[in-house]
Amino acid sequence: MADASAEGRPDYTTCMGWLAQFADSELNRLEKPPALAAHMTSEAWRALSFGHGLIQVARLIERQVDTDFARPAGLSVAGFRIVSALKLNGPQAPSQLADQLGLTRASVTSSLDTLERDRLVVRAPQPDDGRRLLITLTPEGDSVIEDFLKWLSDQPEQEWFESLTRDELVVLDHLLRKAGAQRPPESQARHTVKRRPPRRRGETNSS
Domains, the chain: 11-62 (no CATH), 73-157 (1.10.10.10)
- Specify which residues 189 forms β-bridges with: none
- Which stretch, 60-64, 78-82, 180-184, 191-195, has highest mean pLDDT? 78-82
Per-residue pLDDT band for 199 (boundaries 50, 70, 90) equals: low
Q: What is the signed CA dihedral for 103, 109, 114, 117, rounded to 10 degrees? A: 150
User: Terminal CA-to-CA distance of the chain, rounded, Å?
Assistant: 56
Nearest Cα to Cα of residue 83 among 65, 68, 67: 65
pTM of the full structure: 0.60
Specify whether the CB–CB gap between 108 and 97 falls below 8 A.
yes
In sign, the C-alpha dihedral spanning 72, 75, 77, 82 is negative
Q: For 129-164, give one letter per residue: b (16+ CB within 10 A) or e.
A: eeeebbbebbeebeebbeebeeeeeeeeeeeeeeee
Task: Please write the tens of the pLDDT for every residue from 60-83.
Answer: 888 888 888 889 988 998 999 999
Q: Distance between CA 120 and CA 143 in Å, rounded?
A: 9
- Judge whether residue 3 has pLDDT over 60: no
pLDDT (0 to 100) of residue 2: 41
- Which stretch, 52-56, 158-162, 181-185, 196-200, has highest mean pLDDT? 52-56
Q: Distance between CA 146 and CA 69 in Å, rounded?
A: 12
